[in-house]
Amino acid sequence: MGYYDDHYEPNGQTRRKRRSGSFVSALVGAILGGLLVLMSIPTLSRWDVLPYEVVPPQGGEEEREGENGAPPIQQSVSVDVTTAVTKAIDQASDAVVGVVNIQAAGFWSQGGEAGVGSGVIYKKAGGRAFVVTNHHVVENASQLEVSLKDGTRVPAKLLGSDVLMDLAVLEIDAKHVKKVAQFGNSDTVKLGEPVIAIGNPLGLQFAGSVTQGIISGTNRTVEVDLDQDGTPDWNAEVLQTDAAINPGNSGGALVNMKGQVIGINSMKIAQEAVEGIGFSIPINAAIPIISDLEKYGQVRRPYMGVELRSLSDIPSYHLKATLHLPSNVTEGVAVIQVVPMSPAAQAGLQQFDVIVALDGEKVRNVLDLRKYLYTKKSVGEQMEVTFYRDGKKRTITMKLAPESY
């Protein structure tokens, strides 16, 4: 009949069996057809199946097709990279030199090179060239040499050094010098401004090394213990940067993007958990010190002629029993000794007087007094001193003399 189900057909075969035979025939036909199609397609190369254009490598090497089917030839490509950073380095790097500290042999030492730091050539005049570096770079040297950028080493003469500001000035023959540094204005430096440190980290084998960073802080104050007695002797105002400053960078240049020196690298916090904190002496603060060292061999600071001690370092018993201070006076500076014929002696200051103000500016400790005296006053100026004597408040005026008075 015309309809079949799973029951027996007249010839004894089921409908399912007939369907199975039809499926096998169709599958075999499809396979044979596919093979015939594939045999009729020409062979494809690796280039025929790429749906995009092949572009030669960029940035350094370029492929050029070889002759007579030879493999491609790699050709070098020269790239000239010029940025504000490279221009600034070109402007300043030739003026940054190495400073070699040579010490004579002693009973406990063999002598020779005691250390290497950095320096900056800042001036040429009268056949001489002048180099600024750090005091601790040249300290205790019996002989000094300056290593120029081309490796030439020339003898250097120490003109003067200042432990308080950690600065020193050297003199060399100008015939060896091709370029001097240009000083910038450290007072206009902005937080986050990009800067470059140039120097000789770890010695002359890494001479002229360059690191880049930013200004991390302006007008930072760092306590300095000059005599290593555990008590700060000076508050150094510095620029803070995260540009890497390592041993040997001391005395080198901190440079802005114009290639101008805005600081002389000096200190680095070297603690296990602290990285990226370097300090530089602002060039505006350094310039008057450099000028004095070049001209006089020392810094001409105002001089009072007193030995002082902060009240915070004096036992409370002596505040009343010895100094006879009112109970409300807890800050100031006690006069421990007065140098005869000094400005302080001539003005009438005496032992155990307690200074509490200079020109009306409050003085809390010895650091405050030194800071005001050295940064706000000049040799020959008058200064009003407010102090306590035997419990009574008094005021005198003294004329400041040079420190070498």
Question: What is the sign of the dihedral through the CA atoms of 185, 188, 194 and 199?
Answer: positive
Q: How far apart are CA 308 and CA 369, in angstroms?
A: 10
- Name, in order, each residue with C-beta under 8 angstroms of 346's C-beta and a sequence gap of 6 or more: 398, 399
Q: How far apart are CA 365 and CA 357, in angstroms?
A: 10
Cα 89–chain centre separation: 15
Active site residue 80: no
Q: How far apart are CA 231 and CA 261, in angstroms?
A: 32
* Active-site entry in 94, 166, 242, 292: 166
Q: How far apart are CA 342 and CA 399, in angstroms?
A: 10
Yes or no: say if 90 and 205 are a contact pair by the CB < 8 Å rule: no
Active site residue 45: no
* Active-site entry in 93, 118, 135, 136: 136
Yes or no: say if 335 and 351 are a contact pair by the CB < 8 Å rule: yes
Q: Which residues pair with 354 in a beta bridge?
A: 334, 388
How many Cα atoms are found within 13 Å in the side-chain-facing hemisphere of 69?
0
* Active-site entry in 147, 186, 250, 266: 250
Amino acid at 275: E
Reduced to 3 states (helix: H, G, I; strand: E, B; else coil), residue 91 is: helix
| DSSP for 64-81, written as a single string | EPPGGGPPPEEEE-----
Active site residue 166: yes
Q: Which residues pair with 344 in a beta bridge?
A: none
**Residues taking part in catalysis:** 136, 166, 250
